[in-house]
């Protein structure tokens, strides 16, 4: 992008890397997949002094020895992009724990600038850090920041403007490793690896398969001797090489931190920290989660958004607009076939636009608002920690809670976010569960609106969907090969959400909704119109009518299921209309909503599944979902009849 250079931002997740990136670039970012992967990398321009730079925000990483695909991409960027500077962002209050990664970056010979972010939290805990001393100990510039309020960003830009790379300070490991590294670097490693030969030697000692393949390719003649030297060193230790080097770096980090950091002898009481611990407590955490779900989703999104707001817009606003518009179209277009394209039962305005603006838009607006508040508060990583033990039963780690919660907003977007999961096994399981048992915000809002006045029906819906979620997840974890996931995550501070952030996030997502969803609703209306003209739509409805009758629902419900494939929320809105017309009794309503919740993913989600997991996996998942949805609907209907339950 410019001749001046590239600045790469690295760090563990949830330390504010993206906030620093936004502060430097002004949020002018492009997002693209790293070549050969599905991992997103953010890039943006930045003017510093008289130079133009490209800022690269890498995926979160804990070490230069990668475990996840995201870490592999981040290391590849560091090795290939030839950075002018590498900004390592860490959480200031966890200095001792995060310095080992800084030491690795320095060992790699990278041009490191250390940024102590979230400094306000460290100060609140009465943690004092001597910035000058820390810079002296590490031999790199150190800047303190509070990215959320742009504190320290000016100083960071100034440090970048004045930055001149100097040979890195050496942090020695034990004598045996140092001798091995020196021999390897001086005798065998002749090619350029973009990082220090010292770190390459350490990676070989740790049996980093990716680096071993790279060295074998570049140094074929010497590789067997290199491998033999590394193997000879490994046998001298009783523990794995990765553990040995990690513990030695941790000891170095402890010594450095002890010289530069002064922590209070008694940790002061901070309400936010106490509340943070409660959110992850096995009992109180569940109480808080229930309160968030009840007041946030059920009362705010379900009752107010899907009830009060939808009724007002649909009855008062569109009830006023549609009759005169219908009369106008009927007057201007004398042919009924053309009138049906715009108005009447399935017209673009009376069905497509009305569903999009009167039923779905209010619901997603309130969901995006409450989700922005939850996200900005830092609650999501705590929820991941709380849920981890339960998710292990499903073959997932607590990290999977993030796409699951995002799925309550949009399953298509959440399917893309499954990229954060480290193994293909976890990504397949989470994709299946998203397609099966996680209703999107619009669908969820309609369901909550329909069941909000019938507690027994709501509890049955929640219980059946949850049971299917856990049974299918458990069976998937047993049938799919692979090891149980290991979970670790950086937990950011619990903060009072900022109004500006909430507004920006909500607005951005609503903008995405209007651009993404409105055209789809219009296309579905056109498809229905064309399908009726050629008779295809009626044929498809008759096909769907068989399983619909099988689960005890009126044949007319097949229309809602069919269009539910194009938009799940569209199908739920169809059930909303049928309920208002009195076409369901209580039992049929619950069976319809359970089946619709578990029904096939929408076209957009299906295409993303195929893109992310492949055609074979996408088709298998869709077939499983279809069978489970109607099978569950049938069993639920039979159970209600046998038990003589009347809702």
The overall average pLDDT reported for the chain is 85
13-17, 263-267, 511-515, 516-520: range with lowest mean pLDDT: 263-267
Question: Would you say residue 226 has pLDDT above 70?
Answer: yes
**For 389-432, what is each residue's pLDDT tens digit?**
888 888 888 888 878 877 776 777 678 778 778 778 888 999 99
Query: What pLDDT, on the 0 to 100 scale, is given for residue 276?
Result: 79
Are the C-beta atoms of 62 and 81 separated by less than 8 Å? no
**For 137-169, what is each residue's pLDDT tens digit?**
999 999 999 988 889 999 999 999 999 888 888
Express as a percent the part of the chain with pLDDT over 90: 30
Q: Which of 7, 81, 80 is nearest to 48 (CA)?
A: 7
Query: What pLDDT, on the 0 to 100 scale, is given for residue 110?
Result: 94
Place of tokens 């998710």: 391
Full DSSP string of 6-18: EEEEE--TTSSHH
Phi, psi of 501, rounded to the nearest 5 degrees: -65, -40
More confident residue, 74 or 386: 74
CA–CA distance, 101 with 92 (Å, rounded to integer): 14
CA dihedral 554, 628, 400, 363 (to 10 degrees): 0
**For 538-577, what is each residue's pLDDT tens digit?**
788 888 889 999 999 998 888 888 877 766 767 887 888 8
Query: Most distant CA pair in the chain: distance in Å?
Result: 92
Query: What pLDDT, on the 0 to 100 scale, is given for residue 35?
Result: 58
Query: What pLDDT, on the 0 to 100 scale, is given for residue 4?
Result: 60
Query: What pLDDT, on the 0 to 100 scale, is given for residue 461?
Result: 93
The contacts of residue 579 (CB under 8 Å, 6+ apart) are 450, 589
Q: Which of 568, 532, 564, 534 is nearest to 548 (CA)?
A: 564
Question: Would you say residue 318 has pLDDT above 80?
Answer: yes
Confidence grade of residue 434 (pLDDT, cut at 50, 70, 90)? very high
Question: Would you say residue 487 has pLDDT above 90?
Answer: no
Query: What pLDDT, on the 0 to 100 scale, is given for residue 253?
Result: 94
CA–CA distance, 368 with 375 (Å, rounded to integer): 10
Are the C-beta atoms of 435 and 613 separated by less than 8 Å? no
Query: What pLDDT, on the 0 to 100 scale, is given for residue 349?
Result: 87
Query: What pLDDT, on the 0 to 100 scale, is given for residue 1?
Result: 40
Query: What pLDDT, on the 0 to 100 scale, is given for residue 34?
Result: 55
Question: Would you say residue 60 has pLDDT above 70?
Answer: yes
pTM: 0.68
**For 442-473, what is each residue's pLDDT tens digit?**
788 778 878 877 888 889 999 999 999 999 99
Question: Would you say residue 484 has pLDDT above 80?
Answer: no
CA–CA distance, 534 with 339 (Å, rounded to integer): 16
Confidence grade of residue 170 (pLDDT, cut at 50, 70, 90)? confident
Q: How many helices (H) and strands (E) does the chain have?
A: 31, 9
Q: Which of 12, 162, 170, 165 is nearest to 88 (CA)?
A: 12
CA–CA distance, 597 with 470 (Å, rounded to integer): 15
CA–CA distance, 48 with 349 (Å, rounded to integer): 51
Query: What pLDDT, on the 0 to 100 scale, is given for residue 529?
Result: 83
């Amino acid at each position: 992008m410019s001749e001046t250079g590239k600045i790469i931002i690295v760090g563990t997740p949830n330390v504010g890397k993206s906030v620093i990136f936004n502060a430097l670039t002004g949020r002018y970012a492009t997002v693209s997949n790293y070549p050969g992967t599905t991992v997103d990398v953010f890039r943006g321009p930045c003017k510093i002094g008289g130079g133009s730079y490209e800022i690269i925000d890498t995926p979160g990483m804990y070490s230069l020895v990668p475990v996840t695909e995201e870490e592999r991409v981040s290391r590849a960027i560091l090795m290939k992009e030839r950075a002018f500077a590498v900004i390592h962002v860490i959480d200031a209050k966890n200095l001792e724990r995060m310095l080992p990664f800084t030491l690795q970056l320095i060992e790699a010979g990278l041009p490191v600038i250390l940024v102590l972010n979230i400094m306000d939290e460290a100060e609140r805990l009465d943690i004092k850090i001597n910035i000058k001393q820390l810079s002296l100990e590490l031999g790199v510039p150190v800047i303190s920041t509070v990215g959320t309020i742009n504190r320290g960003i000016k100083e960071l830009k100034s440090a970048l403007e004045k930055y001149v790379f100097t040979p890195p300070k050496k942090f020695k490991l034990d004598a045996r490793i140092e001798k091995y590294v020196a021999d390897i670097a001086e005798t065998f490693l002749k090619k350029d690896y973009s990082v220090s030969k010292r770190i390459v030697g350490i990676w070989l000692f740790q049996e980093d398969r990716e680096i071993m393949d790279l060295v074998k390719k570049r140094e074929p003649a010497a590789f067997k001797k290199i491998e033999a030297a590394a193997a000879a060193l490994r046998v001298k230790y009783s523990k794995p090489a990765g553990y040995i080097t990690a513990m030695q770096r941790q000891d170095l980090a402890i010594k450095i931190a002890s010289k530069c950091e002064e922590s209070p002898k008694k940790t002061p009481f901070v309400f936010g920290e106490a509340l943070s611990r409660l959110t992850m407590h096995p009992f109180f955490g569940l109480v808080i989660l229930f309160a968030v779900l009840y007041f946030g989703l059920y009362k705010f999104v379900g009752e107010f958004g899907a009830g009060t707001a939808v009724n007002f817009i649909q009855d008062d606003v569109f009830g006023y607009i549609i009759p005169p518009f219908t009369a106008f179209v009927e007057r201007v277009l004398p042919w009924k076939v053309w009138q049906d394209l715009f108005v009447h039962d399935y017209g673009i305005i009376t069905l497509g636009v009305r569903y999009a603006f009167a039923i779905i838009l209010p619901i997603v607006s309130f969901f995006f608002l409450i989700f922005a508040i939850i996200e900005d508060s830092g609650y999501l990583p705590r929820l991941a920690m709380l849920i981890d033990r339960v998710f292990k039963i499903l073959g997932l780690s607590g990290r999977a809670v993030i796409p699951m919660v995002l799925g309550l907003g949009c399953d298509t977007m959440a399917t893309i976010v499954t990229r954060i999961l480290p193994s293909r096994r976890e990504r397949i399981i989470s994709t299946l569960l998203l397609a099966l048992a996680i209703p999107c915000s619009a669908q969820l809002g309609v369901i909550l609106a329909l069941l909000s006045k019938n507690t027994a029906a709501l509890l049955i819906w929640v219980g059946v969907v949850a049971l299917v979620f856990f049974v299918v997840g458990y069976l998937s974890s047993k049938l799919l090969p692979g090891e149980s996931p290991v979970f670790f995550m950086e937990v950011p501070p619990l903060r009072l959400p900022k109004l500006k952030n909430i507004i920006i996030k909500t607005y951005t997502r609503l903008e995405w909704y209007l651009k993404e969803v409105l055209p789809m609703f219009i296309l579905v209306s056109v498809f229905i119109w064309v399908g009726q003209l050629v008779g295809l739509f009626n044929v498809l409805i008759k096909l769907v009518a068989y399983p619909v009758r099988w689960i005890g629902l009126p044949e007319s419900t097949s229309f809602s299921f069919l269009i539910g494939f194009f938009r799940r929320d569209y199908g739920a809105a169809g059930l909303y209309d049928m309920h208002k017309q009195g076409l369901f009794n209580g039992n049929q309503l619950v069976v319809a909503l359970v089946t619709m919740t578990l029904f096939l993913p929408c076209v957009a989600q299906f295409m993303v599944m195929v893109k992310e997991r492949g055609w074979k996996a996408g088709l298998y998942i869709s077939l499983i979902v279809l069978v489970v949805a109607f099978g569950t609907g049938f069993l639920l209907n039979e159970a209600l009849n046998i038990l003589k339950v009347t809702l």
